[in-house]
Chains A and B, each alone.
Chain A
């Protein structure tokens, strides 16, 4: 399941933010790396909500959940299993 989430997420990121998969460090923050700007965060959150049918409330919008691709994937997985 994680692999599926990660593939979908990476597909969205490469399509939307003009980076190649190999340029994305899966353990680094995409904000700090300059891959996404503030609006990019909105685009990712909207994608996650629509694609994985989860609801992201304010207290979940933290770096522990969004700080890297791996963290986002774990977060989505947790939300789906709840």
Chain B
């Protein structure tokens, strides 16, 4: 089953990516074409996914840190009740919401104007790279926070108290004592988020314009408009290499930890 449903299509795509359609021989012609047409999009994709991953990490750490260390019960309750919601919203619905929220005359700008924080003339659309990043972060923060807050809740509470007892502020406790103990979980969450964001089609397609755009949109375009499976597969291999690099970093880190333990 695995062979038929997974390995065969994957192998076939890989083979197509490396085959010259004219001669049928092994060739990098599709990769040359992909690079020629889409090198900007490859860089754009990397930029979007890396920035989104870093922002996701930062916000998740803040939320999980508040959930673990805050002494303000109402803040903890509010955050705990709110932060998971985006988990249950599909990417395409999130993208749709963001279109109405981030547009020039969208809810965000209207609210800012309404609050007197911005002049109507200053309003600009966020429906570009910023929109993609905001949507990705909005969608992935709950996932990473869920893992991170769970890991933080399961560490020995006394290790937190020991730090505060010796004079560490809550911020220092979070950065120096809590985060290192849950780094592994954070890394897993971020790797999974990175790969997810790399493979989402709906968000870049709906939220941002066509130039530059992400590799998923380019692949769909090559197939739907030109039936050009060769270039699409070459782009797929590039995506896979990017994801593979991240997975390799994760595995290497894992092995290092195991060797130390």
A binds B: no
Interfacial residues, chain B to chain A (CB-CB below 8 A): none
Taking beta carbons and an 8 Å cutoff, which residues of A are in contact with B? Answer: none
